Amino acid sequence: MTSLAERLGRSPDARLLIVSCDELGFSYAANVAIFEALRAGQATSASLMVPAPWARGARVGYHDEPVGVHLTLNAELDWYRWGPITQSPSLLDGDGAFPRTIEDVWEHADLDEVHREWRAQIERAVLWGFSIDHLDAHLSGVELKPEFFDVYLELADEFRLPVRLPAIEEERRIGFPFRALAEERGVVAPDDVVALRSLGDSGPDVAAGIAALEPGVHELHVHPAIDTPELRASSPEWATRVAEHELLGASALKDLASTGSVELIGYGALKALMA
């Protein structure tokens, strides 16, 4: 079987890396850090969280950087909340915002309303002028129930956009062949996803972890933000976001790529396979 790297015109033993900043639009602090990472060459992709409070503000700072849509059905924080952009009662909790947990969405969400909401998020990103190159899902889990995955896959197929998926080794744990289903629809995804924090707490640790990746197309996802009072007030994980911003800058990804150890690419290369 031809590997994804080979489909992209690389050798079978090539290691390609997408560095993706999640949750553009989460806050002003996140927007600043994400655009900084994209423009410094520390990241090759980002994903816009359309219902979040600073999503429209992200449009002001946007200069045609590669952006996907971070499909959202959850608002997991206690005091910093957001909700659907469509009239979707089943997607609301008692606070009038999205539910805090994935399980709550699975239990109560109407699939027609999920489809309408996710479609609206994609269409609004396009209306705002973002050039969309992929889809992924907030909290990386709500889409991993078969009926929700069907909606995710249908939209990816319709808009001809690649998606983020767990590695194939996760299929037994999750319980259905999501990668085979995506392949049947011609929907492309990186071979696996790695969280920045799983690679270590220093630039050299991250560089070593990336250098040790197996051949294939990998995605490294990160949630960077600059340190501001707004961020500290909104998120109990503010320190992790700030540390990831600093770590992304210290990981010398461009230097690692220049050695030939990995090749940095964006989701646009995968989108081209679906054209």
Q: How many beta carbons lie within 10 A of that of residue 60, not counting itself?
A: 9
Q: Kindly report the CA angle at 177 between 144 and 158, in degrees rounded to 5?
A: 70
In the block, tokens 């009239």 appear at 87
The residue annotated as part of the active site, out of 138, 218, 221, 223, is 223
Q: How many beta carbons lie within 10 A of that of residue 139, not counting itself?
A: 15
Q: How far is CA 36 from CA 44, 100, 269, in A?
A: 11, 29, 22
The residue annotated as part of the active site, out of 13, 22, 70, 95, is 22
Q: Does 22 qualify as catalytic in the annotation?
A: yes
Does the CA dihedral 206-211-212-217 come out positive or negative?
Answer: positive
Beta-bridge mates of residue 137: 71
Nearest to 223 by CA among 46, 94, 90: 46
Helix (H) or strand (E) holding 182: helix 178-184
| Residue numbers annotated as active site | 22, 223
